[in-house]
């Protein structure tokens, strides 16, 4: 079922685990190994980015997460709204930051770009659709409330809303 906004559809769990070859932030070629990101220090080896050390002579290229952060071009948006958010702001921010730290420790490309607070609530932007989904689901598990997930496959973009 299509929504009224630009063909955005509700996301199923399986859709987010399908391979996305159309993400312009993923290298379209095989990177020489090891490759080190000059911004965050993540290392590309054996087909994946991870935390670790690279030899001094390692190739340097910005990782997809740092590229998205530099361009201010998120793959995930998590909108938080409601009176509960205002009453439990610090606790919710703590949950979000802890969840990001845990994910980022194992998956360097999953990071928060920004957390922006406004009159209507809070917007968390992420470098990865999976992190946006995981943050929204962590809020739902911890605090209940209403959760909506909308994934746009063509743009590799996830918009999540959580309110209570």
CA distance 24 to 21: 8
Angle between the N-to-C axes of helices 89-106 and 129-143, in degrees from 0 to 180, rounded to the nearest 10: 140
Domain boundaries of the chain, sorted by first residue: 26-62, 73-163
DSSP state of 12: P
Q: Which two tokens stand for residue 58?
A: 């390692």
- Please tell me the pTM assigned to this model: 0.82
CA distance 92 to 70: 26
Q: Is the peptide bond before 3 cis (omega within 30 degrees of 0)?
A: no
Q: What is the pLDDT along the chain (164 residues), one digit of tens a residue?
A: 444 444 445 555 555 545 444 566 766 667 877 999 999 999 999 889 999 998 888 999 999 999 999 999 999 999 999 999 999 999 999 999 999 999 999 999 999 999 999 999 999 999 999 999 999 999 999 999 999 999 999 889 999 999 99
Q: What pLDDT does 12 receive?
A: 56
Give Cα separations from 8 to 37, 45, 68, 147 (angstroms): 33, 35, 21, 16
Q: What pLDDT does 33 receive?
A: 75
Q: What pLDDT does 3 receive?
A: 42
């Amino acid at each position: 079922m299509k929504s009224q906004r630009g063909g955005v559809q509700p996301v199923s769990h399986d859709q987010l685990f399908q391979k996305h070859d159309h993400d312009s932030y993923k290298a379209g070629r095989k990177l020489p190994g090891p490759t080190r990101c000059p911004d965050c220090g993540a290392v590309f080896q054996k087909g994946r980015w991870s935390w670790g050390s690279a030899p001094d002579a390692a190739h340097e290229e910005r990782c997809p997460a740092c590229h998205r952060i530099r361009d201010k071009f998120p793959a995930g948006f998590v909108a938080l709204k409601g009176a509960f958010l205002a009453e439990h702001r610090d606790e919710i921010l703590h949950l979000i930051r802890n969840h990001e730290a845990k994910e980022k420790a194992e998956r360097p490309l999953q990071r928060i770009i920004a957390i922006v607070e406004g009159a209507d609530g809070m917007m968390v932007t992420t470098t990865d659709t999976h992190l946006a989904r995981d943050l929204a689901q962590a809020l739902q598990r911890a605090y209940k409330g209403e959760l909506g997930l909308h994934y746009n496959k063509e743009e590799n973009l996830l918009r999540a809303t959580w309110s209570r």
